[in-house]
């Protein structure tokens, strides 16, 4: 579970990743089951409120995490219900069940994510583009004459250096395409969707062969509405936790907390 997901409602409460583009599309844009989902969340929250009065301190803390995860679903359903008419006009066709090469798969999933941000269905989204532990049929089209495993190549980088460089370029081009699309989408005030977004791209490993998580390559596009600097390169001091970045981003959007995971402070270097 920890390998296959990157989003969490709270400690021990995973937000499951969706690998199928069609299911992701239906979950976000179709309204046929919204009433049923709403009825379920209403019942759960009603029972939860009754149960809360019977819990001790520690159980109450865990309960609050669970409650908030259900509340988030309810809030999303309410938002989608209000946007029913607008959602019918979204210019994005429902994906088919056909086989997709990896590049097309990433492009389709990113289009779904970008439209969800553009229409205001959500303000936060994550896309796991390379979960190499998955046994997927997606190949790196145009790169190799046969299916190749990025996972296996990364465990022997010296032997596969040139092929790994091809894969790195492949992913960076996909990221650049997403950034370009977001930059072309204009908001009501004339600014771009990219300008008003923090789009963070990176990896959880700095060295796939030894599973070291030092020197992580991270790119942050967008300025979060002008709160963050752009167009520069920073080489952070050794042993700077990646959690410092997540904490800085969270604080910039009004989250009231002083720490996150193993953070040691915020990154003033990237703030305007």
Q: Give yes or no for a contact between 181 and 197, defined as CB atoms under 8 angstroms apart.
A: no
Name the residue among 106, 110, 102, 113 with its Cα closest to residue 27.
Answer: 113
* The pLDDT of residue 120 is above 70: yes
Q: Which of 91, 102, 90, 80 is nearest to 34 (CA)?
A: 80
pLDDT at position 163, please? 92
Q: 83: pLDDT confidence band, cut at 50, 70 and 90? A: low
pTM, entire model: 0.75
Q: Which of 34-38, 72-76, 150-154 has the highest mean pLDDT?
A: 150-154
pLDDT in tens, 121-142: 889 999 987 665 654 545 677 8
Cα–Cα dist 41/144, whole Å: 47
Closest CA to 194 of 158, 148, 225: 225
Residue 181 sits at the vertex; the CA angle it makes with 147 and 132, to the nearest 5 degrees, is 25
């Amino acid at each position: 579970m920890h390998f296959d997901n990157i989003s969490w409602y709270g400690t021990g409460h995973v937000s499951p990743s969706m690998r199928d583009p069609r299911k992701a599309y239906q979950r976000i844009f179709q309204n046929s089951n919204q009433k049923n989902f709403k009825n379920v969340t209403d019942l759960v929250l009603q029972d939860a409120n009754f149960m809360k009065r019977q819990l001790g301190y520690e159980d109450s803390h865990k309960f609050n995490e669970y409650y908030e995860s259900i509340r988030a679903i309810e809030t999303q359903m309410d938002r989608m219900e209000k946007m029913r008419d607008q959602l019918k006009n979204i210019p994005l066709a429902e994906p088919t069940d056909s086989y997709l090469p990896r590049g097309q798969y990433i492009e389709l999933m990113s289009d779904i994510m970008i439209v969800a941000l553009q229409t205001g269905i959500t303000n936060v989204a994550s896309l796991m583009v390379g979960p190499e532990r998955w046994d997927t049929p997606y190949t790196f089209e145009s790169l190799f004459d046969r299916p190749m495993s990025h996972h296996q190549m990364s465990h022997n980088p010296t032997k596969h250096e040139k092929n790994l460089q091809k894969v790195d370029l492949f992913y960076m081009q996909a990221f650049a395409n997403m950034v370009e699309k977001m930059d072309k989408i204009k908001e009501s005030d004339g600014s771009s969707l990219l300008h008003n977004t923090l789009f963070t791209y990176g990896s959880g490993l700095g060295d796939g062969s030894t599973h070291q998580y030092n020197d992580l390559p991270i790119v942050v596009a967008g300025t979060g509405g002008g709160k963050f600097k752009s167009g520069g390169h920073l080489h952070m001091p050794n042993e700077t936790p990646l959690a410092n970045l997540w904490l800085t981003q969270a604080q910039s959007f009004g989250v009231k907390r002083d720490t996150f995971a193993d953070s040691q402070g915020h990154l003033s270097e990237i703030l305007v």
